[in-house]
């Protein structure tokens, strides 16, 4: 990491409407992921692994479980002035909530004034990826730009799903234009079938960031959004650079997972990201010990696989099973099983994501579903088999056929 003083801001105040009902009772960054993690753990792990030691998490909606997770999991030594701290909306500029990500920083400028960093890294809290930000910091310093935007190459066919960066012809590190979900994108000069999509990660010179959010706060025509307002303003002034993730080398990464990045802001993307984890050669590798993803270590026994009372052994194929689980004479395939889940005799769980402390009774069937915390599946019941029946019971069913059952529901 550079000798300059670096400060990290994680934007974790999003409401997460597209992840309902998983966000009915928790902030989006607090949504469990891959068994023992929360979504925010990926952003925080990347910052910590990159050498940052002063990080704040700006929270707002339904933040109790998120605040608790940060306080219990991300304790650093205060002796070295190292910390990860949750900072809720403080209403320092009037009795109002954050009106956007830029306004969240504007209302938290006291944090920057107190620490006086040279450079500020601003990241989102709902993306799954690995990235060494120290390399991006060095590129930012060398560029001389006020802001550098992290970008990842995506197929041009998916350009209408992202904010797309058009680079300067004479200087590929400079942003010439920023297009929000373009319908007629222009491919990269060195790869016409790809575009550069914004990852929602930014590096600013601290003084430049403070000035930018204060100017934005005075505008009545702004949505006060980092990606929608602040970055385009820098682009129009010719002061915005781009950092291609292709340049980033993460220790322990492989060619298969080196450039993995997924925005898990929808049920479909959340489900697909779990499927990326369970293959024998996963698209995203949780087992990279050189760049670990940290989280709270549960005081739990190992998972246990036992025969049922009739001696049926059951099968578990292409799945991840978390600590504390008891799997008895059942069939589990292509699924993520969270902590302290019980799956009983004759039950079948396929293509599903199961959160913690779910109980799946004998002879029940779960297909292509997400079951939130403490759901109980009664004996012989099914989820994901009959979508009309699922909707009639009040469950969410997506266009792609994923059934989502909210926290604590008893399914009969």
DSSP string, 133-173: HHHHHHHHHHH--SEEEEEEEEEGGGGGGSEEEEEPSS-TT
* Strands, sheet with 320-321, edge to edge from the N-terminal-most edge strand: 320-321, 336-337, 353-354, 369-371, 403-405, 396-397
180 is annotated as contributing to ligand binding: yes
Burial of 242 (C-beta count, 10 Å sphere; 0-12/13-18/19+): buried
344 is annotated as contributing to ligand binding: no
CB neighbours (10 Å) of residue 31? 22
User: How far is the C-alpha of 231 from the C-alpha of 228, rounded, in Å?
Assistant: 7
Q: Do strands 194-205 and 163-167 pair parallel, antiparallel, or not at all (unpaired)?
A: antiparallel
Q: Do strands 353-354 and 320-321 pair parallel, antiparallel, or not at all (unpaired)?
A: unpaired
Token pair, residue 26, equals 């928790």
Question: Could you tell me which residues are beta bridge partners of residue 359?
Answer: 342, 376
User: How far is the C-alpha of 303 from the C-alpha of 356, rounded, in Å?
Assistant: 13
User: How far is the C-alpha of 56 from the C-alpha of 121, rounded, in Å?
Assistant: 11
311 is annotated as contributing to ligand binding: no
- With a CB cutoff of 8 Å and minimum separation 6, the contacts of 124 are 10, 11, 43, 200, 201
What's 273-326 look like in SS3? Answer: HHHCCCCCCCCCCCCCCCCCCCCCCCCCCCCEEECCCCCCCCEEECCEECCCCE
134 is annotated as contributing to ligand binding: no
Smallest Cα–Cα separation from 216: which of 60, 89, 100?
A: 100
Burial of 118 (C-beta count, 10 Å sphere; 0-12/13-18/19+): middle
Token pair, residue 65, equals 């479980």
Binding site members? 163, 180-181, 198
* Residues of the binding site for alpha-D-glucose 1-phosphate: 163, 180-181, 198
């Amino acid at each position: 990491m550079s000798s300059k003083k670096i400060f990290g801001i994680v934007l974790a105040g999003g409401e997460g409407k597209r992840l309902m009902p998983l966000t009915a009772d928790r902030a989006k960054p607090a949504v469990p992921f891959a068994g023992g993690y929360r979504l925010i753990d990926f952003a925080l792990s990347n910052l910590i692994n990159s050498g940052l030691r002063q990080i704040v998490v700006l929270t707002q909606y339904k933040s109790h479980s998120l605040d608790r997770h940060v306080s219990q999991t991300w304790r650093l030594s205060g002796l070295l002035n190292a910390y990860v701290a949750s900072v809720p909306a403080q209403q320092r500029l009037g009795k109002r909530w954050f009106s956007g990500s830029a306004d969240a920083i504007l209302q938290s400028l006291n944090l920057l004034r107190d620490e006086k960093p040279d450079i500020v890294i601003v990241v989102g809290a709902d993306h799954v990826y690995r990235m060494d930000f120290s390399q991006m910091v060095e590129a930012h310093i060398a560029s001389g730009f006020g802001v550098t935007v992290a970008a990842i190459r995506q197929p041009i066919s998916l350009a209408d799903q992202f904010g797309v960066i058009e680079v300067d012809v004479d200087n590929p590190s400079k942003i010439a234009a920023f297009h929000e979900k373009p319908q007629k994108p222009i491919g990269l000069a060195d790869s016409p079938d790809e575009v550069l999509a914004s990852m929602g990660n930014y590096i600013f010179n601290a003084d430049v960031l403070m000035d930018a959010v204060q100017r934005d706060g005075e505008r009545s025509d702004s949505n006060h959004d980092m990606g929608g307002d602040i970055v385009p303003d820098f682009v129009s002034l010719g002061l915005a650079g781009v950092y291609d993730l292709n340049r980033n080398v993460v220790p322990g990464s492989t060619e298969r997972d080196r450039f993995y990045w997924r925005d898990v802001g929808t049920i479909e993307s959340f489900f697909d990201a779990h499927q990326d984890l369970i293959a024998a050669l996963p698209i995203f590798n949780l087992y990279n010990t050189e760049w670990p993803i940290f989280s709270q270590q549960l005081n739990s026994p190992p998972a246990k696989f036992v025969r049922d009372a009739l001696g049926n052994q059951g099968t578990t194929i292409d799945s991840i099973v978390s600590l504390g689980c008891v799997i008895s004479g059942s069939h589990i395939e292509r699924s993520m099983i969270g902590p302290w889940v019980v799956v009983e005799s004759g039950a079948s769980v396929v293509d599903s994501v199961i959160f913690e402390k779910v109980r799946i009774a004998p002879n029940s069937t779960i297909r292509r579903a997400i079951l939130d915390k403490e759901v109980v599946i009664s004996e012989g019941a099914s989820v994901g088999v009959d979508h009309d029946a699922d909707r009639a019971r009040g469950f969410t069913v997506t266009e792609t056929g994923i059934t989502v059952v909210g926290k604590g529901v008893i399914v009969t």
